[in-house]
Chain A
């Protein structure tokens, strides 16, 4: 019994010290982490909708983007779709005519070196300036204007189709 108390006391002290240390670290880093996260989020929004100056402050998508004079200049949609081996999430910026202004992959875990290339610039730049009708893989439809990533057709198709469908859905809700 005596030993149990002794062991318990020792563990208690160790845990208390560890707890206090962590609390202090947490206190000093939270602010920085939160502001970093906000900054990242804002930078990502701005990347897909460069004309916008600020964005609607809310936790859900779509978000409206506004310019300096507080005119609405576009929207940012969030696209989540299952790719080849993972869930791909992306931000898509569109202007008021529903023309794409930018696409950014937020997270994906596709095959490294193959499917993961969907987050590279030369694939994503293809989307810019296009309307949803043309957002199809060239090999899937004649009207399509998107070149898929070599040997990653499934990932490319998944994200391309998801972007098109999301924009089409969104159009209906606005009109």
Chain B
């Protein structure tokens, strides 16, 4: 019922709990339900684009935008979408946003677009987005969905950034393309897919330790 009330009708206590709800809605995407390290979703793109910090941030932003767009639309349409065709509808929504990101990036950030290559179109089938649409946005109000999308997107970007930082520094001796050491023998395996698995594994261990 509370969802139907106007904002002014809330008691201060209710307002406080709503605010707290928003905050946990945002932070859960970063630690408790981190899409990559907690839910283990979207690992394919994480492995591939986390070799360079620049790419990681570009991919994170693209992903967050699509997630935000699809969560908003799905949440807006949630009462009208017929149950039987909900997945195709989600896919059309996600696909459209992905294509928009793809075109806009191609036009205005061609260098990053070139590096991310096939992984931008592949956002369409990224399980994080469809999972959030199905499990969250299709059941929740628009504001909660927005916060969920921002939290999840930020969590994804953050993890990607951390993995990319570790891999780029150890595997290439650079940070965002800037050389850090004069004499440095890079650990090549960190640039290869196994390096990503090792880094993800270690980060998961750290996150679990924090959660306890």
Contacts and interface: CB of A to CB of B under 8 A. Distances in A.
Contacts of A114: 188
Interface string B103-133: 1101110100000000000000000000000
Name the interface size band of chain B: 20 to 34
Interface of A: 3, 6-7, 10-11, 14-15, 18, 21-22, 25-26, 29, 32-33, 36, 40, 111-114
Specify which of A7, A32, A40, A112 lies most central, judged by the most chain B CB atoms within 10 Å of its CB: A112
Interface of B: 51, 80-82, 84-85, 88-89, 92-93, 95-96, 99-100, 103-104, 106-108, 110, 171-172, 186, 188, 191-192
B96 A7 contact: no
B82 A18 contact: no
Given A11-B85, A113-B191, A29 B107 contact: yes
A33 B106 contact: yes
B192 A112 contact: yes
Contact of A36 (B96, B104, B110): B110
Given A10-B89, A15-B92, A113 B171 contact: yes
A25 B93 contact: no
Contacts of A3: 84
B51 A112 contact: yes
A7 B80 CA distance: 11
Nearest to B110: A36
